[in-house]
Structure 1
Amino acid sequence: MSHIREPRRIPPPLRLGIFIAEKVTGKRMEPARILSWHPKAAVSSGVLEALVSHKEKGISKRLLQLVRMQVSVMVNCSFCIDMNGKEFEKQGITTEEVEALQGRRKLEEVPSFSRRERVALQYTRELTSTPAVGNGTTIRRMKRHFDEKQFVVIVSTIAQVNYWARLIKGLGVPPAGFRPDCSL
């Protein structure tokens, strides 16, 4: 159960957005419902979500999925782990790779990660840590593996998932049931 309940009356434009989100996900989207207490927060969060890349030329869906999951695990957001982990199998993410995202294995010890995935995950870890770090070596590696647009897509994905994870943790929203095994 979340820290606060959703409002009894949700403004019609927000109800439409929630209806669409729930239709797309097939789940009750409690974060959107709770954000209805403050329509500006609900609308701005919806716009942010609409702008995130789930596919981009030159970046695999798998890489973006790994980045989203790395943030979700680091911030310890069970709702985010549940939602972002729903397509592991479809993206070919292995148990060994999940263990690396959880910090139980080093990224370098997992041969199935590509070089690009390793550097993107390292940068994700640096930007998600507190305080956020911009290691010059990692940035140079990112620039070797990704062009400017891809760099922006990866960094904005990291920032977007951090936003949602911290918002959802702050509201105390539990997992929505995308995966039966979404334990931390």
Structure 2
Amino acid sequence: MTNDATPHSHGPRMHFHKLAPEVQKAMYGLEMAARKGLDPTLIELVKIRASQLNHCAFCIDMHIKDARKAGMTEERIYLLNAWEEAAGYYTEKEQAAIALTEAVTVLTDGFVPDAVYDRAAAQFEEQELAQLIALITTINAWNRIGVTTRMTPGLYEA
């Protein structure tokens, strides 16, 4: 909904992946590189949370389906939007990753606060932290493509 409560059209604006196949291929390569060494559940938590913040319906749908397929519980999926209130459902490491995801995605005040970065650095080895930052960056790029081109949610099958 826009500010004047008028719904906007959610049909796709373009088929980005067909029109920019080289970019699609490069993004997929970046995606595969960013995932290396990271826990599959953590990957989906990061992707869902960034997609929620970016309002990317296509990616929310996709990553919730992937999370379910990977065995994530419904409670963990449903409560992710309020993870700080439901901290008991997420490990310390997952909480640090989600906090970093939020900070990188939103960039409040134009930077990632030291406390958020330090929390993540305390939970992840340096190489794994670099991978996590790459993963967060990648899902944010995917979200921006999805939101801008209005990719249609519901069509993805895990």
Larger Rg belongs to: 1
| Matched AA of 1:175 | P
In the alignment of these two chains, the number of paired residues is 145
Aligned residue runs from structure 1 range 31-180, under 5 A: 31-33=16-18, 36=19, 39=20, 42-53=21-32, 55-57=35-37, 59-102=38-81, 105-131=82-108, 132-178=110-156
* Structure number with higher helix proportion: 2
C-alpha distance in 2 between matches for 1:107 and 1:93: 18
What is aligned with 1:2? Answer: 12
- Identity among equivalent pairs (%): 21
CA RMSD for the aligned pairs? Answer: 2.1
Alpha-carbon displacement from aligned partner over 1:11-52 (angstroms, at most 9, x marks no partner): xxxxxxxxxxxxxxxxxxx4412xx1xx4xx31332122222
Quick check: 1:119–1:138 contact (8 Å CA) kept in 2?
yes
| Matched AA of 2:65 | K
Consecutive unaligned residues in structure 2, runs of 5 or more: 1-10
State the 4+ residue runs in structure 1 displaced beyond 4 angstroms. Answer: none
Q: Could you say which structure has the greater relative contact order, defined with CA pairs below 8 angstroms and 6 or more residues apart? A: 2
What is aligned with 1:20? Answer: none
Change in 2 beyond 3 A, CA 1:76/1:120: same
| Matched AA of 2:96 | V
